[in-house]
Chains A and B, each alone.
Chain A
Amino acid sequence: MNAEKQDRPGMWGRLKAAGPWLAVGLFAAGIIFWGGFNWAMDLTNTETFCISCHEMRENVFQEYRNTIHYTNRTGVRATCPDCHVPKEWNYKIVRKIQASNELLHKVLGSVDTPEKFNAKRQKLAESEWSRMKKADSRECRNCHHYEFMDYTEQGRRAANRHPAAFTEGKTCIDCHKGIAHALPPIDQGFAPW
């Protein structure tokens, strides 16, 4: 019995024999797999990737080009994923999985013309607003920390409204809608001619 066992080592025995080399190998494979996965995901987190689809390039991207997050005095920019993809990994992976639905609609051609896009604008805008609201405008706050706002440097109106709104528990998106893209039709109650 004993001799037989020594001849044919079990699973544990073989593992022990491979020992440190196996551990190193697994560790290296892990780094390559994990790094590769994140690298591939980061490739989908660039402006270039976003506007490689004409749905984005010809609709929302054109609107965004006129705004302060595209071009400004210092050249510090917030590109598509800075606002639309969370930075923290756990939130990011959830958003990325949800975004696979967008691939389906790319294939279906749901918003492949400006007319189709505008017809859906209300729904698309509202879903992004509610995502922002639920997350307490997390993506805005990656750069805009209200704790560090210097109200003496802000304009009269901003310096008045910001502290009041924060005290009321408002979040960025409550007021700052349509800062990067055109707004859907909103009834402002204009009287006829």
Chain B
Amino acid sequence: MRARALAWMILGAALSTAQAQEPPAVRSERGQTPIDMERDIPDIFRYQRDRPPVPRQWPKQPPLIPHAVKGYNITKNFNHCLDCHSPSRRKETGATKVSDSHYLNREGRKTINVSTRRYFCMQCHVPQAEAKPLVENTFRPLKAVTK
């Protein structure tokens, strides 16, 4: 009898907490557009084509990618960036050198080749598109400020 009462109590408690914690409202990637209607197509940007290397805007800025990278995949099997930028291919392809900072392992010791820690190039180096900035940006490069 007592066991039964206890079981009911536990069940009651569980139900009340479940009611108290309402699940957060699901926000669809489609926004408020109903499923049978087409949503506004977001702006489509074209990546800039090849141009000479872009100068850094502040010290230690990861240099921007001055070319389109469509189809240049970084997979478990192959890193397409290093196909041109690796030290062994650089001379032949004329690609920008991978910085010395990328030849350090996590203990800070020098490595012979680019460290695996730097495998995902596009985490820091990004290609450029002719897109309107999402927020106003008042950044001025250091050179322009000191002039």
Contact = CB atoms under 8 A, between A and B. Distances in A.
Interface of A: 66-68, 155-158, 160-161, 178-179, 182-186, 188-193
Given A178-B78, A190-B82, 9 more contacts: A157-B93, A182-B77, A184-B77, A186-B78, A188-B79, A189-B86, A190-B79, A193-B106, A193-B117
Given A185-B77, A191-B105, A156 B113 contact: no
- Residues of A contacting B: mostly: loop
B71 interface: yes
Contacts of A68: 70-71
Contacts of B29: none
9 contacts: A155-B68, A185-B76, A185-B77, A188-B78, A190-B113, A190-B115, A190-B119, A193-B115, A193-B116
A191 B78 contact: no
Given A184-B77, A193-B106, A156 B52 contact: yes
Contacts of B94: 157, 160-161
Contacts of B73: 182
B71 A190 contact: no
Contacts, number: 67
Interface in B52-71: 52, 67-68, 70-71
Contacts of B76: 185
A193 B104 CA distance: 8
B125 interface: no
Contacts of A158: 50
A155 B49 contact: yes
B75 A183 contact: yes
Interface string B105-120: 1100001111111010
Contacts of B105: 191-193
A156 B51 contact: yes
Q: Which of A179, A188, A189 has the most CB of B within 10 A?
A: A188
A186 B119 CA distance: 14
A40 B106 CA distance: 61
